[in-house]
Amino acid sequence: MRKLNKKWVLIAGLLFLSVASFAQNEATVSARVDAKQIMVGDQVRLFLEAQYNPSAGKLQWATIPDTFNDLEVVERGKIDTLRQGDVFTYRQRLLITGFDSGVFKIPSFVFSVIPNSGIAYTEQTDSFYILVQTVAVDTTKGFVGIKGIMKVKSTWLDYIWYIVGGIVFVVLLIFVILYFLNNRKNNVGKPKGPSETLQEYTLRMLSELEAKNLWQKKQVKTYYVELTDIVRNYIEDRFQAQARELTTDELLAQVQSHRDLRQYYTLLAAILHTADLAKFAKAEPLPEEHIDAMDKAKQFVLTTQQAEIAPEKTGPATNPPTDNTTNNR
């Protein structure tokens, strides 16, 4: 008798486990609403829920259109997931509204279940009827006309940002005006420096070149390039005779035929020939020759300076001012 009882207990346990296992693998779906009647334009919440064991297969969420039966879905919440053991619960909230009065149906929504083994099947939710009502109108009273525009009382606080903006604008305007006035005062009355004559400018260029100590640093070619450029620029600006683009021989030929430059031919020839030796013949003159070339250049400028004051130099250092006196060849 005991053996028989144990046999039935074992069979009952196996049946219970198989039913429980089947129940865990079965999908269950449901739906509910939080209101059965609303006013036109109001919203009703629809809650969808599905329970399934993902290890047993796949659950496809229901397809929900944007409109159905004159009702509209105005918002779709995300699908939340809650796990309890092997069973997952999926939930979604939807907001539904209607803009016409009447009784409208929220249909059933179909969920598809595809198990790992077995035949696919569907589960569907319940359907609901929603009553959409309009505002009650008392037809016993006459029509009331549309009211005109009503003026709203305002205070200074309503214009606070306009006031703040105006104050900021005025402060900035005052700051800009004071800034320009101060700069104008600082600029007015500053004495201009004395005008620099062409001779003064050229002598300054020669002194700056001498201070570079180029030939002492073995930069002999650079020294003579700058020296002859200064001399050539002075000849063009002082005597209005072409000099910058001429070769040494062409320049000396012009000097010899120029009425005012003829007397300085020997002095200029010494400077230019020494420079050509250093620049083109790659010969290095003696230190005494470097000094002598600079002294001759200064002597040439000093002996040819004019009594008149040249216009104030405003251009860059490479474009020295010119004398106003024009010498004829």
Distance CA 300, CA 294 (A): 10
Each residue's pLDDT tens digit, 71-113: 999 999 999 999 988 899 999 999 999 988 899 999 999 999 9
Strands (E), the chain: 28-33, 37-39, 43-52, 57-60, 67-68, 71-76, 80-84, 87-98, 102-106, 110-115, 121-124, 128-133
Query: What tokens were used for 123?
Result: 């589960």
Task: Report the C-alpha gap between 130 and 41 in whole angstroms.
Answer: 13
Mean pLDDT value across the chain: 81
| pLDDT of 242 | 85
Of 52, 35, 58, 120, nearest to 91 by C-alpha is 52
- Domains, in order of start, for the chain: 25-133 (2.60.40.10), 198-303 (no CATH)
Q: Which helix (H) or strand (E) holds 202?
A: helix 198-211
Cα dist from 267 to 194, 248, 258, 275, 297, whole Å = 31, 13, 15, 13, 8
Confirm if 81 and 88 have CB atoms less than 8 A apart: yes
How far apart are alpha carbons 43 and 73 in whole angstroms? 9
CA separation for the pair 175, 303 (Å, rounded): 56
With beta carbons less than 8 A apart as the criterion, state whether 279 and 221 touch. yes
Q: Report the predicted TM-score, pTM, of the whole model to 2 decimal places.
A: 0.38
Q: What is the pLDDT of residue 188?
A: 54
Under the banding of pLDDT at 50, 70 and 90, the label for residue 136 is confident
Instruction: Write down the residue that tokens 């405003």 correspond to.
Output: 314
Q: pLDDT of 180-190, one tens digit each?
A: 888 876 655 55
DSSP 8-state code for residue 60: E
